[in-house]
Structure 1
Amino acid sequence: MPHTTARFRPALLPLALLACLAPPARAAQDDPRHDEVKDLSTIVVRATPLPRTAEDLTRPVEVLAGERLDEAKANSLGETVARLPGVQSSYFGPGVGRPIIRGLDGARVQVLSDGLASGDVSTVSVDHAVSIEPFLANQIEVLKGPSTLLYGSGAIGGAVNVVDGRIPEAATAQPLEGRAELRAGSVNDEKTGMVRLDGTSASGRVVFHFDALHRETGDYDIPGFAESEHAHEEHAHEEQEGEEEEHEEEQVHGVLPNSFVRTDSGALGVSYVGDRGFVGVGYSLFNTRYGVPGHAHGHEEHEEDHEEEEEEGHEEEAPVHIVMDQRRSEIRGGLDDLGVFDSLRVKFAHNDYTHTEYEGDEIGTVFDNDSLEGRVELVHEDWAGWSGAFGVQGSRRDFRAIGEEAFVPASESRDIGLFWIGERTLGAFDLEVGARHDSNRIDVDEGEAIGPSRDFGATSLSAAARWNFGEDFHLSFGLDRAQRSPTAEELYSNGLHVATQSFEFGNPDLDVETANRAEIGVHWHRGPLRLGASLYHVRYDDFVYLADTGIEDDGTPARVWNQSDARFNGAEVDLQWTFAENESGEWSLRTFGDVVRGKLAGDGSQEVAFSVPHGDHTHDYTADIALDGNLPRIVPARLGGELRWRSGNGNWRAGVGAVRYARQDDVAEHEEETPGYTLVHANLAWHLDTPGGNAWEVFVDGNNLLDEEARPHTSFLKDLAPLPGRNVTAGVRLFF
């Protein structure tokens, strides 16, 4: 999608306006955004009702905030958190990237906006984007391991909580404060502008928030051919000998077509803050338009009239792009000092979401999702030596897909969950226990679905302990039993899923899956050294997975949702060493690594039957699905390192690093191996505090500096769309 300077001018206005509005009398040291977050483990994690820092929590958690978040921010949430240990990103073009935690993604990883679900349908299909803008976040928290205790069935693999402060909970330090940013990127001609304002009335009771973002990118540069060597060889083999030369000439090289992104996001919130609490409302929108590279919907392959098919086959297929729009309304409130209870927090959110897929200028499929969620947390102190929190969480999702390619029937999902989490200290041990039960019902149109409506119950139990050998060394232990109910997509999918270029068939007989996790971790901090490491093992009973049948209908593969026992084993390590602090500045080195192996642990195989529709008739198939072997699309092992420097006066900082993604050859049946690759990145920033108390920052960031061809193993598009090539991003930030 082309863009011009004139189209970008509205994004320049916020920065000019802020330069005029910035109050002159503010001291820079009063604004924590001006200071480096030296220890992210000391930041209070808001994803749990008990206010604890990442250092104090017995559960594994990663936090991004301050300058580290500024350096990591990317177009998608998944890409933003992808360099944290144990966390990678899915990829379906630059507009779509969902976090993958310890090899698990989709319906097993909950994405939250300050404790409430994002309300999008990013778990329905891999080409659906998350409706949260990471550029507007204050901090991002990644809970690794089962988080069903706090957030229910959809968090059996973990949760990512984005804290944006869109509904203020306390008065600001100054009557008006905020930040703004402008940036431009080379690989896709990116232009991004954002602004944030927070302020408090003269009475100190009314607090408001405003933010806005606009982003435009064109098609991005790639290091070589869009099609992988494996895909090219496969296509060349399928082509007739006389057409091979033509195929060579048609290969896309240098720029990936239809990889543009345009995003607009904004929010307005206002709260009344009293002596014992607050109540606030907020309204936000998220609108994004993005191309789906490597995809063009061709219905003619499955038309009954083959003569018409042959004629249409010579026409150029229309590129596919997606327009996603979400409107979110929220109410939040809190009270403190309630006698026997320490605090009460109440949150409600309503989401009106529409996702429209276009084939050229024609509307293909429309996804509508209307959701409502509420959450109440009641924190207590010292009940029989335990401090803790009770909670109740309820949600309703009304989902509709309209169009010829709607492979999932309309459904209404309802869930209600009750939980308690408690903690206490016994000598050198910090203990945490908890329990939760969820009741879930999925109602579907019996005329559309391949099976009946279903009811599920899921119970989760958790126990964790931390053994404190001293202030700088502790061991942590965790045991969980977590359960997840199948989703409507897993139960009732039935037809062509164009995003994955496959037929997808649900299984209405799926049962609740159960994960039993054991983990041991170590944390050591002595002077300039900090070490964190963990080992974990997860035994899944009735693990739900999408199995490739090995059958193709007119060249399109068929996949079915199935269940088998599974085992996940993994390890993570993160070492940080500040090896010099002198007149030249502060120098630190960080290295991290992670590995996970996911395998099915069933016996033998299972016969499945399915039918592929073709107009007024069907093609019937049966297939034997292996219940053992490697799971598909498991993330590869990684090893990363980074050298960081900060000048003695704090005005300059820089860093350079690389992450090596190993070759993934532990692949499932009918799945191809993926070559390894190395991504090199760097950053440089100059920070200036002005006499008036404001601050300016000029920065340059580089990604994939070696211009290496990179194809994530987790991506359904890996053979059609590599990651972007060398990218240099430059911009300016204003804090006031």
Structure 2
Amino acid sequence: MRRSLPSPHLLASALALALLSPTAFANDAGATDLDAVVVTASPLKGNAESVATPVEVLYGEALDRTKAGTLGETIAKLPGVQTTYFGTGVGRPIIRGQEGPRVQVLSGGIGSMDASTVSADHAVSIEPFLADQIEVLKGPATLLFGSGAIGGAVNVVDGRLADTIPDEPLSGRAEVRGNTVNDERSGMFRLDGVNGNWVLHVDGLVRNTHDYDIPGVAALHDDHEEDGDHDDHEEEEQPNGILPNSSVRTRAGAIGATWLGEGGYFGLAASTYRTNYGIPSGAHVHGDDDHDHDDDDDDHDEEGHEEEGPVRIDMVQNRLDLKAGIYDPVSFLQSINLRAAWNDYEHVELEDGLPATRFTNKGYDARLEAVQKDRNGWRGAFGLQFGSTDFGAVGEEAFVPSTTTDNLGVFVVQEKDFGPWKLELGGRYDHVELRPEGRASRDFDAINLSAAAIWRLSDGFDLRFGLDRSERAPTNEELFAGGTHVATQSIEIGDEALDTEKGARAEIGAHWHTDRVDLKLALYRTEFSDFIYLADTDVEEEGFPVRLWTQSDATFTGAEAEAKIRLADSASGAWDLRLFGDYVRAKLDGSGTRTVAFEVPHGDHAHGYEAEIAQGGYLPRIAPMRFGADLGWSLGGWRASVGAVRYSKQDDVAQNEEPSDGYTLVDAHLAYRWDRTASSWEVFLDGSNLTDEEARPHTSLLRDYAPLPGRGVAFGIRAYF
């Protein structure tokens, strides 16, 4: 019998009713003052609670406790946020069911400019261990960052270019750690020095891990194998308790200098990020050599599709960041700010140690914004963003052509308080042009409009509303793909006639804060027209399924809730409970099928096909519903917590997609911190997957080949000075 998941309304209501006891909120006037954590991604730089658009900020002890080897894993326990998974070297954020080119990843407000949106096995070139805080903007962030943020944005703030002069002439932090699950040995440091008006910065990180431990074997057994359909050959024995070729080696570092004066500021930073990670066996294969080919001239390709050995990705990114600004340049402006970055990115896919395919991405991104002074109660900013990237792909697995992408955007944001109401308005126009090598160029216009409001019903309770109309230009992969995409184990065919993707979002939320409880709820719905997705054709070529990039209307509906409860504060310590849950449902709006004719490139010619494309059903790899709880304790320098997250079975699946089982991940943390005259020290133990459960995320393309790591204990020491 098929199990139906609760509606998002029921999810939010159930969690709210469980927490909103009359005694918990009796003292509304005693609402807790929240930390004024500045959201640097916004030109108006409000704190996290005062911004009407949905945002989460991870910083301080919470960030230290959740930092992981990938950005996606670091923020994956925030409500509405999960992560992709392609081994421990790759994890890109998923926000409310949307990922890839719909979620913009930024460093200091400027795009990462890597190749992580092109393929699921490409890592994000940002090191979360060097972050000061991480800002997650949920829902369209297109007003701030352009059409690539139609589903949200993640901004990593690393402090390489200073905003203020530190209080101490020399400050910093350092950490060394290990982990039992993969024999990790990592170390990082950061130093900030002051010389007059200059703030100097240097940081660095080294991480080495071995193949990680897993419960059981890596690959799932197919049903047909269990039925004896493959009795004619002996099944290859799998390693037990370890995932081969899952090790990671990472190096990162930066130097920066910022001059902060009374009339303005200027800063420049140079950074590098280098990582070498393995693609777990079974995920990166060249096809089925036993497949019968229709043409005799295909025979010469057989040997080329034989996997020679393990596949690793060797990535290098070098980057220059610049920021400058002038205060009070004219009578009606508070400041003019420039933020820019130049990027040189390359990664090489190595097969048995030999280069096979090379991806490059070189270019720049710049943002010029003017922040206005208050005028009749209106606060706001307007500006210009422009950039250009040259993406290159050379080698046997280069399934997309080399493409130059130019973008130009203009934007304005405004906000005003009307008594108990706060209103935020904004608009942006973008022009995007893609010029692929050897093909006709395409250009797109995207218009984005947004309105959000906070209705403060009391000091501790407010309602939040949001309406957005957003547009996204197609990417070069969606437009021009034409070959074998090994990471997805398919042949992808783009559509050069794709139109701009459009979304309309409505959201309602509530924030309630008292001396004992902080509660946040949100319900949202986004209706897309011309939603771009990868459709199965039920056609195979050289053993690979053929998938087409196509468009159809789609709807995302979801809910998320989080409650933080201060249970007690006594001689036995302070006890806190955190509960959270989220759910998203994503479906195509159509029904039936339509016939599509297409060609699959094959050497110097192409094979023609027709296929029936489903117009309805669920979208693939949508994050399952989950509930989580964390119980925390602190006393003096001690702090500890234990928690669990239950990931439900996902059986709302796309055509030709298999359901995934649910699982529960249990973790625990223990730390002791002591202060000295000029420094603080902390030793810690962090346990993950303590029940050693076999976990295969539905959001992962590797769930049939690579489960999540088994039981692990991270340990180390941190220093702050």
Letter in 1 for 2:314: V
Bigger shift: 651-660 or 610-619?
610-619
For residues 266-415 of structure 1, the aligned pairs below 5 Å read 266-294=253-281, 295-298=283-286, 301=289, 317-338=308-329, 339-415=331-407
Distance 1:309 1:117 in 2: 39
Equivalent residues in 2 for 1:466-615, closer than 5 Å = 466-615=454-603
Q: Tell me what 1:15 maps to.
A: none
Structure 1 counterpart of 2:75: 81
Q: Give the Å deviation of 1:85.
A: 0.1
Partners of 2:556 and 2:174 in 1: how far apart?
A: 43
Which one of 694, 698, 708 corresponds to residue 679 of structure 2?
694
Aligned AA (2:613): I
How much has 1:242 moved relative to structure 2? 2.9
Could you say if the C-alpha distance between residues 208 and 234 of structure 1 is closer, same or farther in structure 2, counting changes exceeding 3 Å? farther
Please point out which of 658, 661, 673 is paired with 1:672: 658
Using the TM superposition, give the Cα deviation of residue 139 of structure 1 relative to its aligned residue in structure 2, in angstroms.
0.2
User: Do the aligned partners of 1:296 and 1:359 also contact (CA within 8 Å) in 2?
Assistant: no
Measured against aligned partners, the alpha-carbon deviations of 1:25-44 in whole angstroms (never above 9, x if no partner) come to xxxxxxxxxxxxx9876311
Residues of 2 paired with 1:735 and 1:293: CA distance?
37
Structure-2 separation of matches of 1:58 and 1:276: 31
The 8 Å contact of residues 297 and 317 in structure 1, kept in 2 or not, is answered as no
Give the AA of the match of 1:166: R
Mapped partners of 2:287, 2:454: distance in 1: 57
Distance 1:422 1:318, change over 3 A: same
In structure 2, what is the Cα distance between the partners aligned to 1:581 and 1:326? 48
Q: Is the Cα–Cα contact under 8 Å of residues 137 and 164 in structure 1 kept in the other structure?
A: yes
Distance in 2, Cα, partners of 1:540 & 1:66: 37
- Seen in structure 2, the aligned counterparts of structure 1 residues 673 and 134 have a Cα distance that, compared at 3 Å, is same
Distance (whole Å) between structure 1 residues aligned to residue 85 and residue 628 of structure 2: 20
TM-score, length basis structure 1: 0.90
CA apart distance, 1:391: 1.5
- Contact 2:86/2:702 (8 A) holds in 1: yes
The corresponding residue for 1:259 is 246
Between 657-666 and 547-556, the greater mean CA deviation after superposition: 547-556
The 3 A distance-change label for structure 1 pair 713 and 238 is farther
Deviation at 1:240, TM superposition (A): 3.1
Aligned to 2:90: 96
Is the 1:300–1:312 contact (alpha carbons within 8 Å) kept by the matching residues of 2? no
C-alpha offsets along residues 422-462 of structure 1, whole Å, 9 cap, x if unaligned?
Answer: 0001111000001000011001123xx4xx21110000000
Deviation at 1:603, TM superposition (A): 4.2
Given the alignment of the two structures, is residue 728 of structure 1 paired with residue 683 of structure 2, yes or no? no
Q: 1:299 to 1:569 in 2, by over 3 A?
A: closer
- What are the superposed Cα offsets for residues 236-271 of structure 1, whole Å, 9 maximum, x if unpaired? 56953232xx21x51232110010100000000011
2:23 match: none
Q: Are the counterparts in 2 of residues 503 and 559 from structure 1 also a CA contact under 8 Å? A: yes
- SS at 2:144's partner residue? helix
Residue identity opposite 1:386 in structure 2: W
Contact 2:284 2:487 (C-alpha < 8 Å) held by counterparts: no
Find the counterpart in structure 2 of residue 11 from structure 1: none
Where 1:669 maps in the other structure, the secondary structure is: coil
Cross-structure match for 1:660 = 646
Distance across 1 between alignment mates of 2:466 and 2:603: 53
Displacement, 1:297? 4.0
Q: Please, what TM-score do these two structures have when normalized by structure 2?
A: 0.92
1:421 to 413, 425, 430: 413
In structure 2, distance between residues paired with 1:574 and 1:664? 22
Task: Tell me the alpha carbon deviations over residues 392-424 of structure 1, each in whole angstroms, 9 at most, x when there is no partner.
Answer: 111101011001211000110000000000000
Please say if 1:181 is aligned against 2:170.
Answer: no
Cα distance, 1:621 vs structure 2: 1.8
Give the Å deviation of 1:614.
Answer: 3.8
Partner of 1:107, secondary structure, is helix
Aligned residue identity for 1:271: T
Question: How many Å separate the matches in 1 of 2:680 and 2:493?
Answer: 55
Q: What corresponds to 1:157 in structure 2?
A: 151
Matched, 1:199 2:193: yes
Q: Counterpart of 1:497 in structure 2: which amino acid? A: H
Contact 1:297 1:320 in 2 (8 A): no
Equivalent position of 2:62 in the other structure? 68
Please give the alpha-carbon distance, in whole angstroms, between the structure 1 residues aligned to 2:445 and 2:256.
Answer: 36
For the residue of structure 2 that corresponds to 1:92, the secondary structure is: coil
TM-fit CA distance, 1:119 = 1.2
| Alignment equivalent of 1:148, drawn from 134, 139, 142 | 142
TM-superposed CA distance for 1:526, in Å, is: 1.2
Provide the residue aligned with 1:465 in structure 2: 453
Letter in 2 for 1:676: G
Deviation track 1:660-699 (CA, whole Å, cap 9, x = no partner) reads: 0000000010100000010111100000101x22111000
1:258/1:293 contact within 8 Å kept: yes
Q: Equivalents in 2 of 1:297, 1:718: separation in Å?
A: 15
Letter paired with 1:103: G
**AA aligned opposite 2:697:** P
Matches of 2:482 and 2:227, distance apart in 1: 31
- In structure 2, the partner of 1:121 is 115
For the residue of structure 2 that corresponds to 1:464, the secondary structure is strand
| Aligned CA distance change for structure 1 residues 694 and 325 (closer, same or farther; 3 Å) | same
The alignment partner of 1:697 has SS state of strand
Q: CA deviation at 1:330?
A: 1.4
C-alpha distance in 1 between matches for 2:558 and 2:319 = 37
1:48 maps to 42
Q: Contact (CA 8 Å) 2:73, 2:82: kept in 1 or not?
A: yes
Identity of aligned residues (%): 53
Q: Cα distance, 1:228 vs. partner?
A: 1.8
Contact 1:40–1:65 at 8 Å: present in 2 too? Answer: no
**Match of residue 241, structure 1, among 207, 226, 231:** 231
Aligned residue type for 1:581: D
Q: Provide the C-alpha distance between the structure 1 equivalents of 2:278 and 2:227, rounded to a whole number of angstroms.
A: 29
Please state how far the C-alpha of 1:612 moved relative to its aligned partner: 3.0
Quote the Cα distance in structure 2 between the aligned partners of 1:367 and 1:121: 8
List per-residue Cα deviations over 1:3-37 (Å, max 9, x = no partner): xxxxxxxxxxxxxxxxxxxxxxxxxxxxxxxxxxx
CA-atom RMSD in angstroms: 1.8
- Equivalent residues of 1:300, 1:309 under 8 A apart: no
> Is the partner of 1:150 in helix, strand or coil?
helix
Q: Aligned pair 1:213/2:205, yes or no? A: yes
Contact 2:482 2:601 in 1 (8 A): no
Deviation at 1:336, TM superposition (A): 2.2
CA contact (8 A) 2:284 2:489 kept: no
Structure 1 position 362, deviation (Å): 1.8
Deviation at 1:622, TM superposition (A): 1.3
How big is the shift at 1:291? 0.2
- Say if 2:68 and 2:74, in contact at 8 Å, map to a contact too: yes
Residue 233 of structure 1: CA displacement?
2.5
Distance (whole Å) between structure 2 residues aligned to residue 167 and residue 128 of structure 1: 27
Aligned in 2, Cα 1:300/1:656: closer, same or farther, shift over 3 Å? closer
Structure-1 separation of matches of 2:369 and 2:226: 59
What is the CA deviation profile of residues 493-535 of structure 1, one whole-angstrom value per residue up to 9, with x for unaligned ones? 0000011111001011100011100000000011111110000
Q: Which residue matches 1:18?
A: none
Paired amino acid for 2:404: E
Deviation at 1:700, TM superposition (A): 0.3
How many residues are matched? 684
1:58 to partner: Cα distance: 0.5
Structure 1 residues 341 and 234, CA gap change in structure 2 (3 angstroms)? farther
Q: Amino acid of the residue matched to residue 66 of structure 2?
A: A
Q: Provide the C-alpha distance between the structure 1 equivalents of 2:105 and 2:228, rounded to a whole number of angstroms.
A: 41
